[in-house]
Structure 1
Amino acid sequence: MRQPHDLAADTRPRVVRLADAAADGGTVRTTAAHRCLEPAAAPTGGAVAFICDRAGVPQLWAAASAGGPARLLDASPDPVTEVSWSPDGEWIAYTTAPGGGEHTRVLCVRPDGTERRAVAGAVPGQTAHLGAWRRKGSALAVTVAASQVRDPAYRGLAVFVLDPAGFADPELLTTQARASSLRLCDFSPDGHLALLRCGPRGRRRATVLDTRTGAVATDLPAADGDPWIGRFSADGRTVWLRSDADREFAALHAARLTDEGDCAYVAVAAERDGTDLELLYVDDDGRNGVLVWNVDGRSEVETVALGTSTVGVRSPVAIPHEVVTKVTDPTEGGRLLAVSGSAGRSGVCAYPPSGGTAAMTPWSSRDPAASPGGHSPVRPEHLRFPARDGLPLDGWYYRPPGAEQPGPCVVHLHGGPEWQERPVLNPMYQALTQLGIGVFAPNVRGSSGFGRSFVEADHGEGRFAAITDVADCTSYLILHGMADPNRVAVMGRSYGGYLALASLVWHPDLFRTGVAVCGISDFATFFAGTESWIAESAAAKYGHPEADRDLLRRLSPMTRMDALRVPFLAVHGEHDTNVPPGESLQAVQAARGRGIPAELLVLRDEGHEFLRAGNRARYHRAVGEWLGRHLVPKRA
């Protein structure tokens, strides 16, 4: 019989040299309107690597941190999703999604774009994720999924530490069978301890592992959201941790450790009433950090001085956009923040050590008019109202410029469901408002940002109440004159795609049409077809495919397709192994079998996320044409 440690044999990574793919930024055909994200500072502070889609697909770029032209380090067409610079400055590690799918791999390249190589995930069908570097040198942790193991009982995740140059064999650090997540977030300065994030959605754990013995020294609750949950202090005796243990909202915790890594005590070091700590960054020297708080969907940033296990001076930082998505170490141009907002594309800003307002970097997009046709972006209005059972709901309403009210409107549902709708630029919303269609993007129960109770309010039978929330949002729009009751559509992506399909069959008389993007239509087929580690995590959120079979059947839109009354459009990426494309196909076939018009758009070379500019444009155009056809009357 196979043993859990046999996972190592199925996941062991190998370094594969690849052809250099660097390109001079001046020779690359680029667009003025682009996104920059995921900045990673060089240890010297003089340069920064980042992801940019100015060439039509998210790729690896680099630039001097104080300014100057950006240069493309990897011109391959595989989308890049994460970036990290080695402590010795010799390598840049990054994660790519070959073919746009979900089977990612980890690559490393020299800062000049040479010696490109796949270090994990190069085996066909294998998936690898980026972990932390050891504090000195170029030893990199990676997580590899054993998706090819025949026996499902022994599928799982393994963490290795490897040398990008390939001079030494990868070192197995730990394995977990039937795991839903496993990421090495940090090494202690002496390398004797490692901080790992593991566990399913809603039940994340922070584990301190003794790297010499492989034994777990400490296990603590961690918060959902950003996978980089914490860091060790400079002496390796404190773990700064983002956690919501026994709390409604995540806060900064200081876990003091013994010499052996056991937890001596845990204390809350920084908190805010009714507000989640959503990002935590601790500098390599362990003396300073950055806290990013989620305040009604907007980010508030403060720098902090860190003691042994206490927080000193906290200084606010003004940012040019509403939301911060990543923080880096200080550079020559100042500390870098990845930001996004309702009136500008995602970019990177820097703020000086002396404080003040952060300014956008010269290589970020400079296009304030980000809407189709050069129109000024529509800024959303923040709406709050109760669901029928009294639970507070909120959302962001994008009012079409100059349009008469009430008019056509689409209720757009985010994924997750633990994600949160926030005031960031969504080209789809902007395109629809230019067609005269209003957009309301709500946070129904199950969304993050409103406390643990709100996130868990859709568990089990509570998911039926989440479907009812969509109807309550629609009724609110109609009652307050923001939507014509005869011209309302429902749309969503990922979990939002499921919720859109569910709304069409549970509340068929409310909507004129719908659009379901990468949505689950039947939980039984979803669990049978998704990746094993995704299924493990999804079971904690939706229900177990065996123990909760009856509940999942009742929650599946496919069991109620007889109630469907209106046409809908389904959109899916062909390489989506998170929610397989068959979920959309069977819903479309079921609708057509009942005489209801339904169409399916499959986007080539895309997975669960649509990352290529050409495909995104095709997707936006198809949705605009579909909703325009069903919601906007033709002029005589």
Structure 2
Amino acid sequence: MQLTDFLKVDTATNPHFHPHHSTKLVYLNNATGFPQAYEYDRDSQQATRLVETSERIMLATYIENDLLIGMDYGVNEKQQLYLWKNNEDLVPLTNDPAHIHHYGGVSPNKEWIAWSSNRRHEQFFDVYIQHVSTRDIQCVYKDDARYDPVCFHPDGHHLLIKKTNTNLDNDLGLLHLETKELEWLTPHESEASFTDAAFSNDGKSLYLLTNVGRDHTGIARLQLQSKELEWLYTGDWDYEALTLSHDGTYLAYAVNEGGVSHAFLTHLPSQTEKKLPIQSGVVTSFTFSHDVTQLVFSLDGAANPAALWCYHLKEQTVTKLANSTRKHTVQEILREPEQLSFTSSDGETIPSFYYKPDGDGPYPTVIFVHGGPESQIRSVYNPFLQYFVSQGFAVCTPNVRGSTGYGKRYHHLDDKRKRMDAVRDLNELAEWLKTEGFAHPNKIAVMGRSYGGFMVLAAITHYPTQWAAAIDIVGISSFKSFLENTSIWRRKVREDEYGSLEEDRDFFDEIDPIHKVDDIQAPLLVLHGRNDPRVPISEAEQIVEQLKHRHHPVDSLYFENEGHFFVRYENNLAAYEKSFSFLRKWL
């Protein structure tokens, strides 16, 4: 099998049923080489591409019989909203390509949509509503912070909005659209998130996910008048993907158990919960049909790439939606990972997924580090990692301290001046893999993207003798220069996790890889997109330049039409062909 065989595996995500037809739904698929909008017909079992565009589509959902489309340009993340009517050209709604727009729902009468934007000031997001027909725009709430609409209240006169304090802390408030009065619903003192909120049909309560007062996220019902919170489901793992049926009778949700989803459906009137019989993987979204007889969701598994599946409520069966993705040739050789963990030198349990190739070990090994760090590597399909495994490399994907999915305590173990404890985890993981016979002692590479790219550069500067090779994808080479140059609206949120320019410059100077380039021994490959609004390409250029000045083995590949994420087929092919050649040379 070639790398192209793995990259041509398309994925189906973000399904939304038609509001009036239980046989039609819209979803995103990347069969063209980047995400596009498709409509699936349950009767014919066929999918049709809806909008012809050379840019990635980030959002597709129905407003009555029309389609709302969200799209950016050059992967710059400055999403614009459009209306697609009667198979005609896209009608611009936001029409401000210099700024970002986040969709926040449609009014009960389908006449208004809500969205947020930083068009008033680059650093702050205000809340707007827009008339779908006249395209008239009204700013309904503004303040010097990050605000986003969540959904309209059933009465059509109120809007639920979210204030983001940090990536893991937010508040929900109810905004009266005429008086502009805002009533906060979720007062709390310590860190807490309130997400996936949906109003009950009578508008008197909210169903939501929250971890207020808890280490893990659970499902709760919030009474709007009294602000009392009633826990419905809690446990030792995080609940996620909460979705309420249109008639208010069912809740669909998943439990993230160590990076693998378990899906559930609760009938609210009887409080009856049923676990759905799904394959191993991660559920990313649910959508109920108009008649609430079908529950469609996207399921992405390491050996079962993201496709659409349907749970039939009456029959209580799960079936895959035929032709929501293309047939592919690599299915038989895809590997399910094994869940492994080791104990760090300070007693923390560090979990990971381990992909074992054919043959006997120890193996040349790639340790792949996720971004964030408010994120989690999960058991999902990854084309280039699966290709590496097919070519004889073992792959280990750790959730080092600071990862989400394991509770608040674990997440905060790498905050600010505890940053290097997570880098130590990588070094100790490499040692453990060697001791257990999983990894060849002289053939371990470290690879990561975004914050994971920083982890790569920190690992090869602070533990230089451990690594045979390293690949940095859109990574941070200096927290100081990163915070000085990242998009202004992101800086405050990142400082809560990484540390601030005002208080932590001395620490940045101590740990930043750019100041320790002379210690690097491992050959390095650097990949980056020139349109990256999160980690500026200067982070790549400065470390490559210094290594070239040293005549150190370093290579780079920069994409003119990509941002923080590589979404185009031809660019992913170029990036990971180069990565594989690099690993084969040095391992």
Calculate the TM-score normalised by the size of structure 1: 0.87
Aligned AA (1:354): K
Instruction: Sort the Cα spacing of 1:547 and 1:69 in 2 relative to 1 into closer, same or farther, 3 A.
Output: same
Is structure 2 residue 373 aligned with structure 1 residue 417? yes
The aligned counterpart of 2:539 is 583
Is structure 2 residue 39 aligned with structure 1 residue 73? no
Secondary structure at the aligned position of 1:453 is classed as helix
Aligned AA (2:144): A
Between the aligned partners of 2:317 and 2:403, the Cα distance in structure 1 is 31
Is structure 2 residue 319 aligned with structure 1 residue 354? no
* Count of residues in Structure 1 that have an aligned counterpart in Structure 2: 577
| Residue 325 of structure 1: how far off its partner (Å) | 0.3
After TM superposition, the structure 1 = structure 2 runs for residues 246-257 of structure 1, keeping only pairs within 5 Å, are 246-257=213-224
Between the aligned partners of 1:546 and 1:345, the Cα distance in structure 2 is 44
Between the aligned partners of 1:501 and 1:357, the Cα distance in structure 2 is 48
More strand by share: 2
Q: Tell me if the contact between 2:351 and 2:398 (Cα under 8 Å) persists in the aligned partners.
A: yes
Q: Tell me if the contact between 1:178 and 1:533 (Cα under 8 Å) persists in the aligned partners.
A: no
Aligned AA (2:268): L
Is structure 2 residue 128 aligned with structure 1 residue 160? yes
Aligned AA (2:84): V
Q: Tell me if the contact between 2:169 and 2:193 (Cα under 8 Å) persists in the aligned partners.
A: no
| Residue 355 of structure 1: how far off its partner (Å) | 5.1
Secondary structure at the aligned position of 1:485 is classed as strand
Between the aligned partners of 1:468 and 1:32, the Cα distance in structure 2 is 36
Aligned AA (1:109): W
Is structure 2 residue 154 aligned with structure 1 residue 189? yes
Between the aligned partners of 1:254 and 1:458, the Cα distance in structure 2 is 32
From 116, 119, 126, the equivalent of 1:146 is 119
Secondary structure at the aligned position of 1:99 is classed as coil
Aligned AA (1:116): L
Is structure 2 residue 356 aligned with structure 1 residue 391? no
From 250, 275, 285, the equivalent of 1:316 is 275
Calculate the TM-score normalised by the size of structure 2: 0.94
| Residue 623 of structure 1: how far off its partner (Å) | 0.7
From 51, 60, 81, the equivalent of 2:37 is 60
Aligned AA (1:399): K
Between the aligned partners of 2:30 and 2:264, the Cα distance in structure 1 is 29
Q: Tell me if the contact between 1:178 and 1:532 (Cα under 8 Å) persists in the aligned partners.
A: no
From 94, 109, 113, the equivalent of 2:87 is 113
Instruction: Sort the Cα spacing of 1:342 and 1:368 in 2 relative to 1 into closer, same or farther, 3 A.
Output: farther
Between the aligned partners of 1:277 and 1:427, the Cα distance in structure 2 is 27
Secondary structure at the aligned position of 1:146 is classed as strand
After TM superposition, the structure 1 = structure 2 runs for residues 70-109 of structure 1, keeping only pairs within 5 Å, are 70-86=47-63, 89-109=64-84
Between the aligned partners of 2:578 and 2:80, the Cα distance in structure 1 is 31
Q: Encode CA deviations 1:525-571: one digit per residue, 9 max, x unaligned.
A: 21122112211211111112222222233332112222111220010
The aligned counterpart of 1:381 is 338
After superposition, the CA RMSD in angstroms is 2.2
The aligned counterpart of 1:505 is 461
Q: Tell me if the contact between 1:226 and 1:279 (Cα under 8 Å) persists in the aligned partners.
A: no
Q: Encode CA deviations 1:379-436: one digit per residue, 9 max, x unaligned.
A: 211101111111111111111122x311210110011112111111111111111221
Between the aligned partners of 1:219 and 1:549, the Cα distance in structure 2 is 37
| Residue 323 of structure 1: how far off its partner (Å) | 1.0
Is structure 2 residue 11 aligned with structure 1 residue 35? yes
| Residue 502 of structure 1: how far off its partner (Å) | 0.7
Instruction: Sort the Cα spacing of 1:226 and 1:461 in 2 relative to 1 into closer, same or farther, 3 A.
Output: closer
Between the aligned partners of 1:542 and 1:219, the Cα distance in structure 2 is 29
Is structure 2 residue 293 aligned with structure 1 residue 327? no
Instruction: Sort the Cα spacing of 1:277 and 1:90 in 2 relative to 1 into closer, same or farther, 3 A.
Output: same
Aligned AA (1:158): D
Between the aligned partners of 1:108 and 1:243, the Cα distance in structure 2 is 33
The aligned counterpart of 2:207 is 240
Bigger drift between 505-514 and 348-357 goes to 348-357
| Residue 66 of structure 1: how far off its partner (Å) | 4.1
Secondary structure at the aligned position of 1:623 is classed as helix
Q: Tell me if the contact between 1:569 and 1:626 (Cα under 8 Å) persists in the aligned partners.
A: yes
Aligned AA (1:184): P
Q: Tell me if the contact between 2:362 and 2:439 (Cα under 8 Å) persists in the aligned partners.
A: yes
Q: Structure 1 stretches of 5 or more lacking a match? A: 1-30, 632-636
| Residue 115 of structure 1: how far off its partner (Å) | 4.5
Q: Encode CA deviations 1:74-125: one digit per residue, 9 max, x unaligned.
A: 1101101222222xx1322122121222222122212x432412212x3242
Bigger drift between 335-344 and 588-597 goes to 588-597
Instruction: Sort the Cα spacing of 1:295 and 1:66 in 2 relative to 1 into closer, same or farther, 3 A.
Output: farther
| Residue 447 of structure 1: how far off its partner (Å) | 0.7
From 294, 297, 314, the equivalent of 2:256 is 294
After TM superposition, the structure 1 = structure 2 runs for residues 1-20 of structure 1, keeping only pairs within 5 Å, are none
Bigger drift between 549-558 and 214-223 goes to 214-223
Between the aligned partners of 1:102 and 1:226, the Cα distance in structure 2 is 24
The aligned counterpart of 1:598 is 554
After TM superposition, the structure 1 = structure 2 runs for residues 161-180 of structure 1, keeping only pairs within 5 Å, are 161-165=129-133, 167-179=134-146
The aligned counterpart of 1:336 is 296
Aligned AA (1:209): L
Q: Tell me if the contact between 1:320 and 1:357 (Cα under 8 Å) persists in the aligned partners.
A: no
Q: Tell me if the contact between 2:93 and 2:135 (Cα under 8 Å) persists in the aligned partners.
A: no
Between the aligned partners of 2:494 and 2:119, the Cα distance in structure 1 is 18
The aligned counterpart of 1:268 is 231
Query: What is the percentage of aligned positions where both structures have the same residue?
Result: 25
Secondary structure at the aligned position of 2:543 is classed as helix
Bigger drift between 134-143 and 579-588 goes to 134-143
From 565, 568, 572, the equivalent of 2:524 is 568
Q: Tell me if the contact between 2:186 and 2:227 (Cα under 8 Å) persists in the aligned partners.
A: no
Is structure 2 residue 580 aligned with structure 1 residue 624? yes
The aligned counterpart of 1:207 is 173
Bigger drift between 190-199 and 439-448 goes to 190-199
Between the aligned partners of 1:609 and 1:238, the Cα distance in structure 2 is 38
